[in-house]
Amino acid sequence: MLTDVSSILKIQGAKLELDSEVGLSGAEFLGERYSFTKPLRLTGEIYNNGQSLTLAAHAAGRIETQCARCLKPIEADVDFDIHELLSRAEDGADEDGDIILFDGHEVDLDDIVTDNFLMNISGKYLCRDDCRGLCPVCGHDLNEGDCGCDSEYVDPRWQALKDILDRRDDGNGE
Ligand SMILES: [Zn+2]
Ligand SMILES: [Zn+2]
């Protein structure tokens, strides 16, 4: 979603209220896939602090992902605060590297919200707190009962799969 900030760019202290829905397609992080089942509600403001723009907002919504232990599809509520500094690229005032630069007079909030969502993932999502996960040997869902395997043994095929996933994560860095 592009937000026009031209009305506050030149006026110190000027403020733009935010109350909108941000439609995000989804994100992948550390091998976990997150989809947004509906737009995130974004409320807050962008204001001119004299040197740059400050984005102070709150995002809330719902995601679809999978249980980190048993891989069952689950939905979870998400709720996080966003605090970022924004500056026009042509003003080039990014000495510390922690200011988000934008072109012209429009800020694309989608990427900012997605990045903040990924920074705010609170550990792993589970289908329930005491999820027993999958048997590392045969893949049986241990929530449905024991399978009788010796769980100390890790099947080399599962290890190979894990290696592939680890490698794929390495290639995802930006
Ligand atoms: Zn689970
Ligand atoms: Zn088993």
* Domain locations in the chain as residue ranges: 2-119, 132-174
For the record, the structure tokens of 140 come out as: 């049986």
Element (H, E) at 162: helix 156-170
Contact 154, 137 (CB under 8 A): yes
| pLDDT tens, residue by residue, 98-145 | 899 998 899 999 889 988 988 887 667 899 999 999 998 899 999 999
Distance 86 CA to ligand 2 centre (A): 52
Cα(145) to ligand 2 centroid in Å equals 10
Bridge partners (DSSP) of residue 43 are: 19, 58
Looking at the CA of 65, which ligand is closest?
Answer: 1
Query: What residues form DSSP beta bridges with 82?
Result: 57
pTM score, two decimals? 0.72
Q: Cα(58) to centroid of ligand 1, in Å?
A: 29
Per residue in 24-73, pLDDT tens?
A: 877 777 777 888 888 899 999 999 999 899 999 999 999 898 898 999 99
With vertex at residue 105, the alpha carbon angle to CA 101 and CA 111, rounded to the nearest 5 degrees, is: 45
Those residues whose beta carbon sits under 5 angstroms from the ion ligand 1 are 67, 69-70, 127, 131
